[in-house]
Amino acid sequence: MLPEDWIPHRRDDGELLGWIRPEHPHRPEADAWVAIDVLGRPASAAVDWLDAEAALEAVGLAWLADVWMLEGEAAEPLRVRFVEVTPPTDEPGRIVVKVDDFGDMQRPPADQLTLPWPAPRRLRPAVAGDSDGRTLAR
């Protein structure tokens, strides 16, 4: 279950971008807010409300289509793509990723892995130097 003081922030079309939570939940007069993305990770430092909204708008959702890396499942980090991101409601949230299949419709379905929500640190965006998934090991 999400904390009661997390306020959903949606795009104009109603799609959830994340939440804005108070930085000091026991001191509402502090007027500092933190943007939280749909993976449950901070998307801003403690800022004013409008800056927290702007942080979520700037992040958007397009990054969900990017390649990410999942560490700890194999000798090398796995290239993965998001299949599902479900924040907690009455049930625990979950994140489902699949091993990157490069969009090949002829391959058997890619392995899927279910992770807890919020996303663990071992799930991270791909960076320069990560395997491109096309280089064969020797």
The 33-37 sheet, strands edge to edge: 7-10, 16-22, 33-37
Give me the torsion for CA of 67, 76, 72, 95, rounded to 10°. 20
pLDDT at 105: 64
Encode pLDDT of 15-36 as tens digits.
Answer: 999 999 999 866 656 689 999 9
Encode pLDDT of 79-105 as tens digits.
Answer: 999 999 999 999 999 999 999 887 676
% of the chain with per-residue pLDDT over 90:
72
Pairing type for strands 112-116 and 33-37 reads unpaired
Beta strands in the chain, from DSSP E residues, in sequence order:
7-10, 16-22, 33-37, 68-70, 78-86, 94-99, 112-116, 123-125
User: Could you give the maximum distance between any two Cα atoms of the chain, in Å?
Assistant: 60
Q: For residues 36 and 52, what is the distance between their CA atoms, to the nearest angstrom?
A: 9
Cβ–Cβ under 8 Å, residues 115 and 94: yes
Neighbour-count burial for 113-127, b at 16+ CB within 10 Å, e otherwise = bebebbbeeebeebe
Q: What is the mean pLDDT of residues 121-132?
A: 90
Going from N- to C-terminal start, the domains of the chain cover: 7-61, 66-125
Q: What is the mean pLDDT of residues 47-58?
A: 96
Q: Is the pTM here over 0.75, yes or no?
A: yes
**Residue 138: pLDDT band by 50, 70, 90 thresholds?**
very low
% of the chain with per-residue pLDDT over 70:
88
Q: For residues 132 and 51, what is the distance between their CA atoms, to the nearest angstrom?
A: 35
pLDDT at 57: 96
Cβ–Cβ under 8 Å, residues 17 and 11: yes
Q: Which of 15, 14, 17 is nearest to 6 (CA)?
A: 17
Q: What is the mean pLDDT of residues 122-126?
A: 96
